[in-house]
Amino acid sequence: MSIIEVRQLTKIFGPDPARAGRLLNEGWSKEKIYKETGMTVGVNKAEFSIRQGEIFVIMGLSGSGKSTLVRLLNRLIEPTSGQILFGGADIVRMNPEQLRQLRRKNIGMVFQKFALFPHRTVLGNVEYGLEVQGVERRKRKELAMNAIRLVGLDGWANSLPDQLSGGMQQRVGLARGLANDPDILLMDEAFSALDPLIRKDMQHELLLLQSKMKKTIVFITHDLDEALRIGDRIALMKDGSIVQIGTPEEILIQPADKYVERFVEDVDLSKVLTAAHVMFQPQTVTPERGPRVALQLMRDNGVSSLYVTDTEKKLLGIITADQAAMALREKRTIQEVMQTDVPWVPPTALLNELFEMMAETRLPVAVVDNREKLIGIILKGAVLSALAGNPVPEAGGVS
C-alpha cells in the first residue's frame, strides 16, 4: 500500500519555469537550458509511489536533484507543477495551516548538518520542534525522552552537544526527527558527514530501529553502497530525472540504461545479493508418503534428491535417490534412511557467505526461516548465474 504518490513533480529554478518546461518537452537537456536561459531544472517530472513502511532511497550524484526532490515532498521548496498525494490529499494544494499540520504530525526530517543548538542539552534539542509546535511541557518531555531512548542515548539527555561524538550528535538529529512520531521520516544525506565506520554503525542502527518502528523512511544518499545496504527500493536520479526505480537487486541485475549500468558496474554482487534472491521453491516430500513416492517425485522432477519436511514445511532432512531406492528394497521408512544433517542458511545470508558451504556439499543448500521452515533451496548454478549478472528464473532447475 502506498503512503505517498508523486505525479509529474517538477521544480525549475528561475524566472520563467513555463518556458523551461516547454524547452524540456522539446527535448532540451538540463545543461542546454541552463546555458541558454540561466534556469535550472531541479526535478523533472518525477513519478513514483512510496510504500507504507519501506525505506525508499533516492540516490544520485551531487547536483542530480535529490535534495530538491525531498524538500518538495514537505514543500520546503515550492513545486513548479505536479502532484504529491498523501492520504487522499494533494500536498501541493495545501494551505499554510494544513501544511503546518502535515509537518507537525506526518512528516519529520533529519538533515546532514545536525544543526544542534550548542547551548541546549540533548533533551532541549530533541524537544525543540515540539516546543515550536506548542506541545505542552510535560508531554514534550515525555515524547522527547522516548525518542532519545529509541536512538540509544539514554543517560545523555542532559549533556551538551559538544560532549558528544559526531555519531551521537547525529543520533540527536534522528531523535529530533522522530520525537513527534511522524508517519514519514525524510533523511537528507543524514549519514554522509560521518566517518565510514560510524556511518556503517548508524546504517545498522537505522535498520534495527526501522524493524521496531516500521516508519516510512525516505533516505537520500549519493553513496551507492549505502543505498544498497539500507534501501528496500532505490530511485536513481540523473539531471533532475528519475532514471530507474527498483529493489537493489533489480538495479544491479537489470540496469535500465547505460547510465545505471556504469553507476553499478563496480559493485561486488556477492556482497549484495542474498540467499532469498537466488533460491527457488523446491518440490518436497513428507515422511508419511514413503520412499516409493519420493523416488517417483524425483523422477518426475528430474532431480536426484528431495528435501523432507512435515506438513507445516518444517525441515526434517533430505533424501537422495540412492537412499530412497535402498529404503524401498529393505522396506524401511524415509526417516530411517534420510540425512538430517543438511547444509542450510537463513534467507538473509549473502552469496559470499554461501561459497564455502557450496564447495563442501553436493546437495542443494536449504534456505530456512526463523521458524525452521524450508522456504527455498539454492543450486550452485543459480549462484554463479546471479553473480554473472543474470536474472534468476522464478523456479525450476535440476539438482
Residue nearest Mg ion, Cβ-based: 67
Widest distance between CA atoms in the chain: 88
Span from 66-74, 161-169, 191-199, 355-363 in contact with Mg ion (CB under 5 A): 66-74
Of 109, 56, 47, nearest to 84 by C-alpha is 47
Binding flag, residue 221, Mg ion (CB under 5 A) = no
| Interaction of residue 78 with ligand ADP, rule CB under 6 A | no
Q: How far is the CB of 142 from ligand ADP (least distance, A)?
A: 35
- Please tell me the total number of residues recorded for the chain in this structure: 399
Cell of 261: 549500468
Q: Give the C-alpha separation, 365 to 362, whole Å.
A: 9
Binding span for Mg ion by CB under 5 A among 4-12, 67-75, 295-303, 342-350: 67-75
Q: In the complex, what is the shortest distance from the CB of residue 259 to ligand ADP, in angstroms, rounded to a whole number?
A: 15
Least CB distance to Mg ion at residue 60 (A): 9
When CB distances are held under 5 to 8 angstroms depending on the partner's kind, the choice from Mg ion, ligand ADP, none that residue 64 binds is ligand ADP
161 binds, among Mg ion, ligand ADP, none (CB under 5 to 8 A by kind): none
Residue list 269-298, contact with Mg ion (CB under 5 A): none
> In the bound complex, what is the minimum distance in angstroms from residue 65's beta carbon to ligand ADP?
4
Interface of this chain with ligand ADP, residues 13 to 72, rule: CB under 6 A: 13, 40, 42, 60, 62-68
How, if at all, do strands 374-378 and 365-368 pair?
Answer: antiparallel
Q: Is 210 in the site for Mg ion (CB under 5 A)?
A: no
Nearer to Mg ion, 67 or 309 (CB): 67
Instruction: Count the Cβ atoms, other than its own, within 10 Å of residue 95.
Output: 7
CB-CB contact of 106 with 163 (8 Å): no
C-alpha cell at 322: 540412492
Among 67, 125, 320, 323, binds Mg ion (CB under 5 A): 67
* 241 binds Mg ion per the rule CB under 5 A: no
In angstroms, the CA 285 to CA 297 distance is 8
Q: Is residue 176 within a helix (H) or strand (E), and if so which, with residue range?
A: helix 166-178
For ligand ADP, the closer of residues 59 and 382 by Cβ is 59
CB of 92 to ligand ADP, least distance (A): 18
Q: Minimum distance between the CB of residue 99 and ligand ADP, rounded to whole angstroms?
A: 19
Considering only the stretches 59-67, 89-97, 263-271, 337-345, report the one whose residues sit in contact with Mg ion under the rule CB under 5 A: 59-67
Compare residues 14 and 53 and give the one whose CB is closer to ligand ADP.
14
Q: Kindly write down the DSSP assignment for every residue of 93-115, as one continuous string.
A: G--HHHHHHIIIIIEEEE-SS--
By CB under 6 A, tell whether 79 contacts ligand ADP.
no
At its nearest, how many Å lie between Mg ion and the CB of residue 192? 9
Query: DSSP character for 64?
Result: S
Q: What angle do CA 153, 51, 376 make, to 5 degrees?
A: 90
Q: Render 303-372 in DSSP notation, one character per residue.
A: -SEEEEE-TT-BEEEEEEHHHHHHHHHTT--HHHHSB----EE-TT-BHHHHHHHHHH-SSPEEEE-TTS
Residues 240-279 that bind ligand ADP (CB under 6 A): none
Query: Counting runs of H as helices and runs of E as strands, what totals does the chain give?
Result: 17, 16
Closest separation in Å from C-beta 34 to ligand ADP: 8
65: partner contacted, choices ligand ADP, Mg ion, none (Cβ within 5-8 A by kind): ligand ADP
Residues facing residue 309 across a β-bridge: 315
Report the C-alpha gap between 183 and 44 in whole angstroms.
26
Q: Pick the piece of the chain touching Mg ion (CB under 5 A) from 7-15, 61-69, 120-128, 288-296.
A: 61-69
Gap between the Cα atoms of 193 and 221, Å rounded: 11
Please, which contacts does 295-299 make with residues 24 or more away whose CB atoms are closer than 8 Å?
295/321, 295/324, 295/325, 295/328, 298/324
Q: State the Cα–Cα distance between residues 271 and 325, nearest whole angstrom.
A: 40
User: Least CB distance from residue 237 to ligand ADP, whole Å?
Assistant: 7
Interface residues with Mg ion (CB under 5 A) are 67
Interface residues with ligand ADP (CB under 6 A) are 13, 40, 42, 60, 62-68
